[in-house]
Chains A and B, each alone.
Chain A
Amino acid sequence: MTPRLTFQDLILRLQGYWAAQGCAILQPYDQPMGAGTFHPATFLRALDPGAWRCAYVQPSRRPTDGRYGENPNRLGHYYQFQVVIKPNPPDIQELYRGSLVALGLDLQKHDLRFVEDDWESPTLGAWGLGWEVWLDGMEVTQYTYFQQVGGIELDETPAELTYGLERLAMYLQGVDNVYDLVWVGERGQPGCITYGDVYARNELEQAKDNFECSDPSLLAPAFDMWEKEAKRLVALRLPLPAYECVMSASHTFNMLQARGAISVAERAGYIRRVRDIACACAVLYKETSRMTLDERRRELGR
């Protein structure tokens, strides 16, 4: 494992590897979301007719997981590296293993296991079957064959590979604290930038906000507003803008939850409301996904 990969080397290697497999290397979506699955390149593209291959880094926000920067393993904001290939090629498992080899892992030394994981996202009306991939007992990737998205059963099956970048990097660099990860440079040398340099202060302030300062009396009506706006845009047959409202509603719900403003009893109701608008977007997107751009233009009066 020498020389050790920096955090950004890890991202660059994965991008290079999957680019070589014909994936479009996309950039993060410019909105807060809880997981890379929310990115339209996964959620909506899964519904498209025909093939799709992409890979991207997506910052993921989990307000309830924030620990003020005091926990070496938990973050309220972290990175996922997401690969989506539809239909999944027959050798996708081998391709995945190849990506680990590309990171410099000698698989013959390690214990790589595929452990049953039935994935389900109640807020996205999505489910799939697959595994947690364990590297020496540590979950480094979620590997899912999507079966349903937005309540719609898929015609062709995409494989979704979600790498937990911090965990993988901690393992590769042999560090026990996420903030000690080398982002660029060499540890202890001038010019070295660590994960802590980049994100420790952000974790502290965001956790303070998420747990103590955010204002539920603003967030609760904001959720209602995003929900209403999503429905309005669906009625105007604009699934892509409507779906941005779904992501905003979902993130607002996560913020309310971290603030302790949602009781256990209310939680299910919020999840159902997000699912309803997510499914409405999915239905409309699928319905319009066979139209050409010109047909869409005409429909929208352009």
Chain B
Amino acid sequence: MAELFVELGTEELPARFVGPAMAGLAAALIKLLGPLAPTPPRTWGTPRRVAVAFPDVVLETAGVEKLVTGPAVSIAYVNEAPGPAAVAFANKLGVPVDSLERAAGPKGEVIAARRVEGAQRLMDVLGAGLHGAIFAMPFKKTMKWGQRKELFPRPLRYVCAVVDGERVPGEVAGNAIVDTSVGHWLWHPLPFRVTSAAGWEADLLARDVIVDVAARRAALVEGLAGAAAAVGADLRPDDTLVDEVTNLLEKPTVIVGRFDAELLSLPPRLLVESMKVNQRYFPLYREGALTNEFLLATNNPHGDEPLIAAGNARVLAARFHDAKFFYAEDRKTPLAAHGAKLSGMVWLREVKGASGRALTMAERQIAMAAAGERLAVACGADPGVTLEAGLLSKSDLTTLMVGEFPELQGHVGRKLAEAEGLPAAVTLAIEEHYLPRFTGDALPSTAAGTALALAERLTLLDAAFAAGLQPKGGADHLGLRRAAVGVVALALGAPATVGTMPVQGLFSAAGCAGGDDVVEFVYARLRGALADEGVPTDVVEAVFSAGSRLLPDLAARARAFGALAGDGRMAAIRATFRRVAGLVKQNPGDVLALETLDGAALEAAGRALRDAVAAIPASSVPDVQLAALVALRPHVDSYFDAVMVMSDDPALKAARLGLLRAIVDRFSTLADFSKLSSS
């Protein structure tokens, strides 16, 4: 068995493309090679290269000899000698004319030729197909370069492809395929021969490239931990940042940087987000507080570390200098005075306020605060605190800081409110009313924050839908879907308070009209979330068609069913209870108490089922109800085996249907089984 190794040398790929490029190259080669590459490949990647090796490739497949038939002998042969038709047939197949044979055809004797089909040589397949395979790799964003027409995330510089060290013939994007690779651009720019994947990996390691992603990540993690320990500070875990930095570098070297301690007076979120998001630094903490030290990973393993650290610290100083100026300016004015300027800021151009002009952010803040106050008690919050926080919640939008760093909205308001000595319940609610900002984000930690967060989203949804601004297609510039997702998350996160109201009730409690369309829009977000979690759509439908309209209850019931979907129990429930529900639906009638069902009319099978139904514990907990449903199923199946429900005898039929109705009624708050699909 031979080894195939392919490396694509690129200019710096975006970090988020390295993983997909590795997987994409492997998939492209598997597709190209088919049976020639029977075993799974190994992949490597850095921002400047992705590579794949198949340890066991087939150099050549034998193929199958096939008899190909042609025209009738009577046409192909003229005077016993091959005529033009025979010559044309032989040429088409690439065989000598004198090798033609005769074979029996459906309408008489025909000429035929033997040909080997399906034979493949690895080198030929690669030489002819590598270019196409590489440029069929899917990427989110691609570009052209030079005079080439091919699309790739960044320019492709070389393609190295070898089979047991032998170069694959052919071209990719106008360049001959090579049998060389190259190390770290700065320290090892000279190409080196590649004879095997293992040798290549070792040669790269010696040339300052850790090409294995896991090994490079481990080196980064170790470097970070060591550097943090060396200065006696703590790192906070951040896998996302570690993953990103791993794929920004070919060989990470961790250095400690320090910025001016005076800048620690700025809002910590600004410092942390600037370090992490803009510069990909790792902030350091001591006793829980942010320090002016940070870790950075450089791609120069032999650089002048103090010089590099000083340069990076200077970048932060420059970035924070503006912020410091803005923050000092902002702090000269009370938050409420910043809020007064909201009357000059348009909120929704399409919605007219009382003045007849477009609604301003000032009107928005007042409406939101009032809605929050109304919702406060239901959310377990103090109405006065909620109102006070609400009337300041959008006020920081006019500050210089938020103008410059929009991602700090809420945080700046909170910090200004704290500086004025406002109570923590108020200042926290000002910041938290933006939560959750995205799916999976934290929820407000305070009840007033929850009430305002709900008010923020309910008033936006209500105003937008009332003005006919509901999202159309993919466009949703007002962020209505995100707002509705937020309402769902807030309700699920507070089942004892917010979750005790149906969506219509939430709108009403906030003082909003809450039309049917906007209410359904919110429910649709929960349906979507449940479907994304893997709950089958018919189950979601069945759950939403029965029982309460409370978001936590709907979610709990759907998830309880969803948990059974993987192991076949769901299929059994579908088969049995869909039938029960169907019969009941087609034959409507009153639901009678179980004990009134005539024992004599039910016969033995019916009495057994009736007793099983009667033994179901009374509970509104979905998991308990579902367990009872699962336990009941064999009884129902036996019943169906024993009797025919639709008896010709009206009394028997009434009794048998009555029993089924009792079952459906028993689970009427769990799901509408008639909505289940058969599979």
Give me the interface of A with B, judged by CB distance under 8 Å: 67, 70-74, 87-90, 93, 107-116, 118, 128-129, 131, 135-138, 145, 147, 154, 156-157, 171, 176, 263-265
Of all chain A residues, the one with the shortest Cβ separation from B143 is A129
Given the interface pairs A88-B145, A89-B146, A93-B11, the reply to whether A108 lies near B300 with Cβ below 8 Å is: yes
List of A residues within 8 angstroms of B292 by Cβ? none
List of B residues within 8 angstroms of A128 by Cβ? 143
Instruction: Please state if B322 and A111 are interface contacts (CB–CB under 8 Å).
Output: no
A67, A110, A147, A176: which contacts B143 (Cβ < 8 A)? A147
List of A residues within 8 angstroms of B303 by Cβ? 108-111
Question: Which of the listed residues A88, A116, A171, A265 has the most CB atoms from chain B within 10 Å of its own CB?
Answer: A116
A110, A115, A129, A138: which contacts B307 (Cβ < 8 A)? A110
List of A residues within 8 angstroms of B332 by Cβ? none
Chain B residues bordering chain A, tally (CB within 8 A): 43
Given the interface pairs A116-B14, A116-B15, A265-B349, the reply to whether A136 lies near B146 with Cβ below 8 Å is: no
- Digit string of B1-32 for contact with A (CB within 8 Å is 1, else 0)? 00000000001101100000000000000000
Given the interface pairs A71-B322, A171-B311, the reply to whether A156 lies near B12 with Cβ below 8 Å is: no
- Digit string of B303-331 for contact with A (CB within 8 Å is 1, else 0)? 11001101110110110011001000000
Instruction: Please state if A112 and B186 are interface contacts (CB–CB under 8 Å).
Output: yes
List of B residues within 8 angstroms of A176 by Cβ? 314, 317
List of A residues within 8 angstroms of B318 by Cβ? 72-73, 138
Instruction: Please state if A118 and B146 are interface contacts (CB–CB under 8 Å).
Output: no
**Which of B151-159, B555-563, B575-583 lies at the interface with chain A?**
B151-159
Instruction: Please state if A71 and B325 are interface contacts (CB–CB under 8 Å).
Output: yes
Instruction: Please state if A115 and B146 are interface contacts (CB–CB under 8 Å).
Output: no
Instruction: Please state if A114 and B12 are interface contacts (CB–CB under 8 Å).
Output: yes
B472 close to A (CB within 8 Å): no
A-B contact pairs, 6 of them (CB 8 A): A111-B300, A137-B296, A145-B143, A263-B345, A264-B346, A265-B346
Bound Cα distance from A56 to B449, whole angstroms? 54
Q: Smallest CB–CB gap between B162 and chain A, Å?
A: 22
Instruction: Please state if B153 and A110 are interface contacts (CB–CB under 8 Å).
Output: no
Bound Cα distance from A116 to B308, whole angstroms? 20
Given the interface pairs A111-B299, A111-B303, A264-B346, the reply to whether A156 lies near B146 with Cβ below 8 Å is: yes
Instruction: Please state if B146 and A157 are interface contacts (CB–CB under 8 Å).
Output: yes
B248 close to A (CB within 8 Å): yes
Bound Cα distance from A72 to B145, whole angstroms? 38
Instruction: Please state if B186 and A108 are interface contacts (CB–CB under 8 Å).
Output: yes
Instruction: Please state if A157 and B145 are interface contacts (CB–CB under 8 Å).
Output: yes
In B601-660, the 8 Å CB interface with A consists of none
Instruction: Please state if A87 and B315 are interface contacts (CB–CB under 8 Å).
Output: no
List of B residues within 8 angstroms of A93 by Cβ? 11
A88, A112, A137: which contacts B315 (Cβ < 8 A)? A137
Of all chain B residues, the one with the shortest Cβ separation from A113 is B299
Given the interface pairs A109-B303, A110-B304, A129-B143, the reply to whether A263 lies near B315 with Cβ below 8 Å is: no
Instruction: Please state if B300 and A110 are interface contacts (CB–CB under 8 Å).
Output: yes
Q: Smallest CB–CB gap between A180 and chain B, Å?
A: 14
Given the interface pairs A73-B321, A115-B248, the reply to whether A90 lies near B146 with Cβ below 8 Å is: yes
Of all chain A residues, the one with the shortest Cβ separation from B13 is A116
Bound Cα distance from A136 to B15, whole angstroms? 18
Q: A88-B145, A114-B12, A157-B145 are in contact. List 17 more A-B contacts (CB 8 A).
A: A73-B322, A87-B145, A108-B187, A110-B308, A111-B299, A111-B300, A111-B308, A112-B186, A113-B12, A113-B248, A113-B299, A116-B15, A137-B296, A138-B314, A157-B147, A171-B314, A176-B314
Instruction: Please state if B321 and A72 are interface contacts (CB–CB under 8 Å).
Output: yes
Given the interface pairs A71-B322, A136-B307, the reply to whether A129 lies near B153 with Cβ below 8 Å is: yes
Q: Smallest CB–CB gap between B30 and chain A, Å?
A: 28
Of all chain A residues, the one with the shortest Cβ separation from B47 is A114
B343 close to A (CB within 8 Å): no
In B149-174, the 8 Å CB interface with A consists of 153-155, 157
B302 close to A (CB within 8 Å): yes
Bound Cα distance from A260 to B154, whole angstroms? 39
B153, B157, B304, B345: which contacts A90 (Cβ < 8 A)? B157
List of A residues within 8 angstroms of B302 by Cβ? 108
B144, B154, B248: which contacts A147 (Cβ < 8 A)? B144
List of B residues within 8 angstroms of A138 by Cβ? 311-312, 314-315, 318
Of all chain B residues, the one with the shortest Cβ separation from A171 is B311
Bound Cα distance from A109 to B186, whole angstroms? 10
List of A residues within 8 angstroms of B236 by Cβ? none
Give me the interface of B with A, judged by CB distance under 8 Å: 11-12, 14-15, 47, 141, 143-148, 153-155, 157, 186-187, 248, 279, 296, 298-300, 302-304, 307-308, 310-312, 314-315, 317-318, 321-322, 325, 345-346, 349, 358
Instruction: Please state if B346 and A135 are interface contacts (CB–CB under 8 Å).
Output: no
- 8 shortest interchain CB distances as A-B pairs: A136-B311, A137-B312, A116-B14, A114-B12, A109-B304, A111-B298, A129-B143, A73-B318
Bound Cα distance from A118 to B139, whole angstroms? 14
Q: Smallest CB–CB gap between B486 and chain A, Å?
A: 22
Of all chain A residues, the one with the shortest Cβ separation from B298 is A111
Instruction: Please state if B311 and A137 are interface contacts (CB–CB under 8 Å).
Output: yes
List of A residues within 8 angstroms of B155 by Cβ? 88, 90, 145
List of B residues within 8 angstroms of A109 by Cβ? 303-304, 307-308
Of all chain B residues, the one with the shortest Cβ separation from A133 is B12
Of all chain A residues, the one with the shortest Cβ separation from B312 is A137
List of B residues within 8 angstroms of A154 by Cβ? 144
List of A residues within 8 angstroms of B187 by Cβ? 108
Q: Smallest CB–CB gap between A171 and chain B, Å?
A: 7
Q: Smallest CB–CB gap between B302 and chain A, Å?
A: 7
Bound Cα distance from A156 to B148, whole angstroms? 8
Bound Cα distance from A72 to B320, whole angstroms? 11
List of A residues within 8 angstroms of B147 by Cβ? 87, 156-157
List of A residues within 8 angstroms of B317 by Cβ? 176
Bound Cα distance from A154 to B144, whole angstroms? 9
List of B residues within 8 angstroms of A87 by Cβ? 145-147
List of B residues within 8 angstroms of A72 by Cβ? 318, 321
List of B residues within 8 angstroms of A116 by Cβ? 12, 14-15
Bound Cα distance from A74 to B298, whole angstroms? 27
Of all chain A residues, the one with the shortest Cβ separation from B187 is A108
List of A residues within 8 angstroms of B345 by Cβ? 263-264
Instruction: Please state if B325 and A129 are interface contacts (CB–CB under 8 Å).
Output: no
Instruction: Please state if B146 and A88 are interface contacts (CB–CB under 8 Å).
Output: yes
B143, B144, B279, B322: which contacts A137 (Cβ < 8 A)? B279
Given the interface pairs A136-B307, A264-B346, the reply to whether A71 lies near B321 with Cβ below 8 Å is: yes
Given the interface pairs A114-B11, A147-B143, the reply to whether A107 lies near B186 with Cβ below 8 Å is: yes
Bound Cα distance from A245 to B47, whole angstroms? 42
List of A residues within 8 angstroms of B358 by Cβ? 265
List of A residues within 8 angstroms of B314 by Cβ? 136-138, 171, 176
Q: Smallest CB–CB gap between A239 and chain B, Å?
A: 24
Instruction: Please state if B12 and A131 are interface contacts (CB–CB under 8 Å).
Output: yes
Bound Cα distance from A116 to B12, whole angstroms? 8
List of A residues within 8 angstroms of B308 by Cβ? 109-111, 136-137
Q: Smallest CB–CB gap between B471 and chain A, Å?
A: 18
Bound Cα distance from A113 to B147, whole angstroms? 26
Bound Cα distance from A147 to B314, whole angstroms? 34
Question: Which of the listed residues B300, B325, B345 has the most CB atoms from chain A within 10 Å of its own CB?
Answer: B300
List of A residues within 8 angstroms of B153 by Cβ? 129
Bound Cα distance from A19 to B154, whole angstroms? 27
List of A residues within 8 angstroms of B322 by Cβ? 67, 71, 73-74
Bound Cα distance from A131 to B154, whole angstroms? 10
